[in-house]
Amino acid sequence: MSKVVIYDTTLRDGSQTEGVSYTVSDKVKITEKLDDLGVHYIEGGWPGSNPKDKEFFELMKDRQLKNAVLASFGSTRRANVRPQEDNNLKELVASQTRTVTIFGKSWDLHVTDVIKTTLAENLKMIEESVAFLKSHKREVFYDAEHFFDGYKHNPAYALKTVLAAQRAKADCIILCDTNGGTLPEEVTKIVKEVRKKVTTPLGIHTHNDMDLAVANTLAALNAGCVQAQGTFNGLGERCGNADLCTVIAILHTKMKKRSIPENKIKHLMETSYYLSEVSNTTLSNNHAFVGHAAFAHKGGVHIDAILKNPMAYEHIEPSMVGNHRRLLTSELAGKMPIILKARKMNIPLDKNSPQAKELLKDLQEYEHAGYQFEAADASFELFMKRRLGLYQPFYHLDGFKVFTEKKLNGAVMAGATVRLKVNGHDEIATIEGHGPVEVLDKALRSALKKFYPVLEDMHLSDYKVRVLDSQEGTGAKVRVLIESQDVRDSWTTVGVHENVIEASWEALVDSIEYKLLKDKKS
């Protein structure tokens, strides 16, 4: 099996995602998580560009990674400045990372119109910058920015730029599709042509502006590249980068190429959710390989086939990437999801069991009333356990109160008081905030957290409200779906009521009780 080197740039390229901002502590946590997974290189950031990245590299000087090599990132020297006088290059050396990655211009348009220098000077900038870093005993990766666009517009000059890096003894030359506008067949053709003329190992760095970053990465690897750059969960500016989680999964399960250690592949889902949590982003439910619905089956025909042979509707065994099979429960699915869920709880139900018939009847009545368990698997598990007498509550509610106030200055505030009995103790929590659901959630967790500190690990990641019968106007029932997340998983709960606060409370309660239940089991 051939090996692909994985180079992660979540901490630099990923941090350019709209809405994502890492603290130094966040960057350390992500570095340690990726190191545990066995990623080969972790690009920590640009030490010459901002105080945060400079502090991060100072902090990392005293830390030893187990598997990964930490890389710093920067640019070639400025035009008409000697390398030893360029502040950016000096900062890269001062970061003391064993590996340094620098980018330079491959597209003549960028040379003349953006950095506004001559084509000849740009070649000197590349060669001298690489040579300067090599003279300081660094492993140097050269990122050929905009290479594919440059090659399509002026192949001779684009090739000269990477040959300049090769002359200076760059250890790897990474071909970048920076605008994300290249097709897989173009990537294949260009990489093969470059491979014939460049002896230095090649890498690939693609952006996802046409939703082709993963496809382009795989095409480049098949054409001769040996290093894949990207971010976890596809984070990055605009439409993001190649998703390394998907790339790694495909390499191991489909292409029989090694990357991270084989025994680490089963941690892909966990790592993906961890990165999502620290990045304060929501992982798509149908994300390939690791999404909560990636191996979820709803249709009765599909479920019947899956039970006979999972290969009928699954392209891999879910556990290979740390995921699991889910058979969604709805009026379309019949008794089998109920029976299988019961078996997971060591309850021997079958199609002819009176309990199975009663559960299906209850389920159909609930769905007729507006509940939707196919999208709320956590609520369904609680529904099952409550109906079968297998659930012991973690607390008892004495009552709650919610209010909203608009003040004279126009500010709108909400408050909630929750009264509970936990292990024989009376607990009261009052919280103020911006919205009624927010304060209810915080008040409930505030009352519980000293008894169940694991609740600090979770947060609500999505909240949806749907009016079930719009003809009823403001008196209509509403369905509330709440998605919650911790560092390992996500789950969805449902509530239905004419009062949106009560529907939200029902979903909130299920969310917290499911978290407590699953952590107790683990």
Would you list the domain boundaries of the chain? Answer: 5-279, 296-387, 402-451
pLDDT at 330 over 60: no
Tell me what the mean pLDDT of segment 260-282 comes to: 91
Q: Is the pLDDT of residue 514 over 50?
A: yes
* Residue 306 token pair: 């899956």
Question: Which of the two residues, 346 and 206, has the higher pLDDT score?
Answer: 206
* DSSP 8-state symbol, 438: H
Q: What's domain 5-279's architecture?
A: Alpha-Beta Barrel (3.20)
Query: Quick check: 323 and 295 in contact, CB under 8 A?
Result: yes
Task: Please compute the mean of the pLDDT values over residues 121-142 and round it to a whole number.
Answer: 98
* pLDDT for residue 326 is more than 80: no
The length of the chain in residues reads 522
pLDDT of residue 22: 92
- Helices marked H in 173-234: 184-197, 213-223
* CA dihedral sign of residues 492, 493, 497, 503: negative
The residue that leads in pLDDT, 242 or 424, is 242
Two tokens, residue 96: 């003391």
> Which letter does DSSP use for residue 237 in this model?
S
Residue 18 confidence (pLDDT): 94
What phi, psi does 39 have (nearest 5°)?
A: -60, 140
What's the whole-number mean pLDDT along residues 446-472?
Answer: 85
The rounded mean pLDDT for the chain is 91
CA-to-CA distance for 157 and 118, rounded, in angstroms? 12
Confidence (pLDDT) at 87: 94
Q: Is 476 exposed, middle or buried (0-12, 13-18, 19+ CB in 10 A)?
A: middle
> Residue 331 — very low, low, confident or very high, per pLDDT cuts 50/70/90?
very low
In order, the DSSP letters of 463-487 are: EEEEES-GGGGGGS-EEEEEEEE-S
Q: Is residue 517 within 8 Å of 486, Cβ to Cβ?
A: no
The per-residue pLDDT for 332 is 45
pLDDT tens, residue by residue, 50-84 = 899 999 999 999 899 999 999 999 999 999 999 99
Examine the pLDDT at 202 and tell me if it is beyond 50. Answer: yes
| 3-state SS class at 117 | coil
pLDDT recorded at residue 223: 97
- What are the tens digits of pLDDT across the range 485-498? 888 788 989 999 99
What predicted TM-score, i.e. pTM, was given to this entire model?
Answer: 0.73
Cα distance between residue 357 and residue 336, in whole Å: 11
One-letter amino acid of 454: V
Averaged pLDDT, 350-368: 77
Picking from 125, 119, 43, 121, the residue whose alpha carbon sits closest to that of residue 89 is 125
